[in-house]
Every structure is written in C-alpha cells, then in structure tokens.
Amino acid sequence: MIPNLRFGIVGTGSRGTHCFGALLKQRSDCIIQAVCDRNRTRAEFAASRFGAPSVYTDLEEMLLREPLDALIITTPDATHEECAIRALRHRLSVLIDKPLATTVAGCRHIIREAQLSGRVAMTGFNLRHAPLLTKLKQIVDEGVLGTVFLVENREFYENGRTYMARWNGQKADSGGLWIHKGCHDFDVFNWLLGFPRPRKVAAFSGMNVFRPDRLPFPTRDGVPPGPCCSQCPYASDGTCPDAVRYDDPEWGDAARQQDGYVKDSCMYNSDLSTHDNGVAVVEYENGARASHLECFVTGLTDRFYTVVGTLGQASLSLSGRTITVLKRWSHETVTYEIPEVTGGHAGADPGLVESFVQAVRSGTPDTSSCEQGLLAAAIGQAAELSREENRVVHLDELL
Ligand SMILES: NC(=O)c1ccc[n+]([C@@H]2O[C@H](COP(=O)([O-])OP(=O)(O)OC[C@H]3O[C@@H](n4cnc5c(N)ncnc54)[C@H](O)[C@@H]3O)[C@@H](O)[C@H]2O)c1
C-alpha cells in the first residue's frame, strides 16, 4: 500500500483553508499533518477544520519538528520566497501559490534552491487545470487553428475590488497587481503559445475609481469613511455599496488583535499602490502577441479569451462550457463542449492539487515548473516597470 503523503500548509487564510485544506482533506492518499500561520487564531481554526494534529506560528519551528513530505505555501506573495527557501532547505517538496515570487530575482533564488534540494517545486498556476482551458490548449496543440500568433484575454473580477481592502493593494506585499493577478494570465499566454521567450511588454494601468475623490456617495458633516468597514459609519448604515462584510471567526476580533491584519480597509480612503484597471501587451520572440485587460470595477466575474491562428480563431468565456472555433476561409463554426465542472476557479483547483500530489509521488512536476513561474512573474514585473516608467520594457532587462 502506498503511504499517505504528509502535508503542511503555511498561510491558513482564504486560499490555504478554502482551497488546499479543503481539497486535501477530501483525499484518501494525503493527510494534513501540520499547519502554520503567524496568526494563531487562524492556524487553530484551520487545524480543527482539517483535523491537523500540529499547529505552529513559526514556519522554521514546524519544519524542524514535523515529519512532512510536502509544503503548500499560501502566504502573501512577498513572503513566498522566504517560505519556499526554508522548506527546500529542509528538503520538502513545495507548491507555491502564484506568483512564484514578486521579483525575477526572488524566482531565481527559489529555482536555485530547488535544484540544490532535488525536491519538486511547483508554481500554483491553477488555470491550466480549468477543463475549458485544457481543451483550448489541446485545440491549439492539435493545430486546429494553424500557427497561433495572437492571444487576447479580458478579465472582469467583481471580487477583485476587495484587493483594495487588504494586502493585495500594496505593492510591497503583492508586487503589484500585474504580478499578483496578471501572472495567471501571462502564464496562460506562455503555455498556450508553447513558451516562446517574451521580448517586450507595455502596460497602461491606474486607479480610476478606488480613490478618495471618487467616493460613490456624499459624506455627512465632513465625516470621512473608514478606516475599515467594521468601523465605518457609511458601512454600518448601508450607504457604501462597496462595504465588505465578513463574519468568519478566524478573521474576527481575536485574530485581529494579534496582528492587526484586516481585510476590510476602506477601498476608497486608503493608501493604495496598485491599479483598479489596465491593459498589458506582450510581444514574443517568435512574433506572437498577447494582450491582457483586467478590471476590478465591475459587477461581473469572468475571463474571455480569443486565440487567433493562421487557420482560424477560438473564443470562450471561462464561466461557460463551450469553445467556438471559426475557420478562416470556410467560415465554418465548430463548437466544443465540456461537461459541467465542480471546484474553484472554473474547476481548476482540484486538478492543481492532483498534479502536485502526482509530482511529489513521481519526483517530477508535469505542469507549472518554477522556470515557468519565473517567466510569468517576469512579464508581470516588466508590466509594473512599464507603468511606472511610462515606456516599453525589453525583457532582456530582467531575464
Ligand atoms: N491561484 C489562485 O487562483 C489564487 C487565488 C487567490 C490567492 N492566491 C494566492 O494565495 C496566496 C494567499 O492568498 P489569500 O487570499 O489566501 O491570503 P489571506 O490573506 O487570506 O491569507 C494569508 C495568510 O497568511 C498568513 N501569513 C502572512 N505572512 C505569514 C508568514 N510569514 N508565515 C505564516 N503565515 C503568514 C496570514 O496571517 C494569513 O492568514 C497569495 O500568494 C495569493 O496570491 C492564489
């Protein structure tokens, strides 16, 4: 009988708990041996939910004491590098949720350490496991579209507005949304195109809405909104349409008193260093081009893709179940349908966990290597640079 794999999870917030913890718990071939979060309340909640015998607030201590096979890293992006290096030095396999790290240098550091450790290190690019995108990749690889030279996607993400209410809105924590969020989409471009080397990036982005002078309601008697929804008079009386309400106990007063971390900072009246909408364009060495639009000021959650090749083009909406291919000369339309999916991110999350479990067992990742994590982070970093310095960035500067 194959022994159960013993997992640790570091970072028992939304992703660590609702995605990885929940999915590992359902499996009969894995156990969650230990969890770690610098916030004890959140760690204890996660441990009780998943029956994990051990709880830590310090990763090094967990790594020293626990007999683990693998670690899942779901802490804020700027801490991925440190967590991954520690785990690899303890010779554990790691799944690092995207982005691999917030800088190319950080990604390189992880790759070096993974090579020294000889363990599996994977980036959590779950979108590649969304059945609709897996089918799209198959259509591209079978040559149905001919040679692909143009890819476009537009992401509208209603809950993305909450990035403005927590660490995601701070570049120091997330690297900026072109890295934090865009890396998903840049990775899908790279993957669909077969990983050509990206050559140039240009990005335009900014804060059009979530700023102090764009409050969607008038203030009363000069009373400012914020500092967070739980203390804001415009949230408690229902005036603010963007008020965040959450009542999970792991995010309540007991947790808040330990580290001051809130996820309901005022989206309008906070010191944010990222964008609420933008467009980034990538050109590749083989001549292919890709463009990614992201918008967090919206009532819609979906990603729309168009992939154009010399023989035809394919399009899909990630919330749907069909891919439509239009043949270039005959104008024939072919529709591919996928079955109903379950699981987060259009059915992608269970596939990501399965691929990591298989990688740990076999000793080789079949998807989302750290080198590919670096490529997507590099495009994100170039997009951040392009926005800051108002110029086209050549990837040779970073790679
Ligand atoms: N692949 C995806 O689709 C996807 C979706 C959402 C988030 N993510 C990624 O998952 C990660 C976590 O995001 P989230 O939304 O769950 O964040 P979160 O804020 O809900 O949770 C993060 C947790 O990490 C803890 N933490 C912070 N620093 C720590 C440290 N040094 N050691 C131990 N614990 C620490 C915090 O206390 C918190 O409980 C991020 O890297 C994010 O980019 C990926």
Give yes or no for residue 289 having a pLDDT over 90: yes
Q: Are 392 and 386 in contact (CB under 8 A)?
A: yes
Q: Give the pairing type, strands 198-206 and 301-309.
A: unpaired
Q: Are 151 and 288 in contact (CB under 8 A)?
A: yes
Report the DSSP beta bridge partners of residue 228.
Answer: 265
Give yes or no for residue 108 having a pLDDT over 80: yes
275 lines ligand 1 (CB under 6 A): no
d(CA 324, CA 159): 27
Which atom of ligand 1 has the smallest separation from the CA of 36?
33
Residue of 399, 336, 374, 357 lying closest to 23 (CA atoms): 357
- Cα end-to-end distance, the chain, whole Å: 45
pLDDT at 364: 87
76 lines ligand 1 (CB under 6 A): yes
d(CA 94, CA 122): 6
Q: Residue 65: which residues within 8 A CB-CB, separation 6 or more? A: 54, 56
d(CA 198, CA 204): 18
Report the DSSP beta bridge partners of residue 32.
Answer: 7
Give yes or no for residue 17 having a pLDDT over 90: yes
36 lines ligand 1 (CB under 6 A): yes
- Tell me the two tokens of residue 105: 């240098």
Q: Are 215 and 225 in contact (CB under 8 A)?
A: yes
- Could you report the per-residue pLDDT of 221-260, keeping only the tens digit for each? 989 999 999 999 999 999 999 999 887 888 888 899 999 9
Q: Are 321 and 132 in contact (CB under 8 A)?
A: yes
Helix intervals (H) in 91-226: 104-117, 131-141, 171-174, 177-180, 182-192
Quote the pTM value. 0.96
pLDDT at 1: 63
Average pLDDT over residues 86-100: 98
The whole-chain average pLDDT of the chain stands at 95
For the chain, the domains span 5-126, 127-210+272-343+368-397, 212-259
d(CA 31, CA 29): 7
Give the H/E segment covering residue 261. none
Please give the distance, rounded to the nearest whole angstrom, from the Cα atom of residue 100 to the centre of ligand 1.
12
- What band does 2 get if pLDDT is binned at 50, 70 and 90? low
- Tell me the two tokens of residue 136: 């799209």
For 5-126, which CATH superfamily applies?
NAD(P)-binding Rossmann-like Domain (3.40.50.720)
For 127-210+272-343+368-397, which CATH superfamily applies?
Dihydrodipicolinate Reductase; domain 2 (3.30.360.10)
Tokens 């203030």 -> residue: 219
How wide is the angle at C-alpha 186 spanned by C-alphas 183 and 190, nearest 5°?
130
The DSSP code sequence of 240-260 is -TT------GGGSHHHHHHH-
Same topology, domains 5-126 and 127-210+272-343+368-397? Answer is no
Sign of CA dihedral 138, 348, 303, 76: negative
Alpha-carbon distance values, 300 to 81, 163, 297, 337, 382 (Å): 33, 15, 9, 23, 28
pLDDT at 250: 86
pLDDT at 247: 79
- Tell me the two tokens of residue 18: 């609702």
372 lines ligand 1 (CB under 6 A): no
pLDDT at 294: 98
126 lines ligand 1 (CB under 6 A): yes
Average pLDDT over residues 121-144: 97
- Could you report the per-residue pLDDT of 318-370, keeping only the tens digit for each? 999 999 999 999 999 999 999 887 878 878 899 999 999 999 999 987 789 99
Report the DSSP beta bridge partners of residue 302.
Answer: 156
Alpha-carbon distance values, 290 to 19, 198, 268, 281 (Å): 29, 10, 32, 6
- Tell me the two tokens of residue 374: 């670096």
Omega before 76 cis (within 30°)? Answer: no
pLDDT at 367: 83
Please give the distance, rounded to the nearest whole angstrom, from the Cα atom of residue 365 to the centre of ligand 1.
22
Give yes or no for residue 67 having a pLDDT over 90: yes
pLDDT at 249: 81
pLDDT at 336: 98
Does residue 366 or residue 299 have the better pLDDT?
299
292 lines ligand 1 (CB under 6 A): no
Which atom of ligand 1 has the smallest separation from the CA of 259?
37
Which atom of ligand 1 has the smallest separation from the CA of 12?
39
Please give the distance, rounded to the nearest whole angstrom, from the Cα atom of residue 171 to the centre of ligand 1.
15
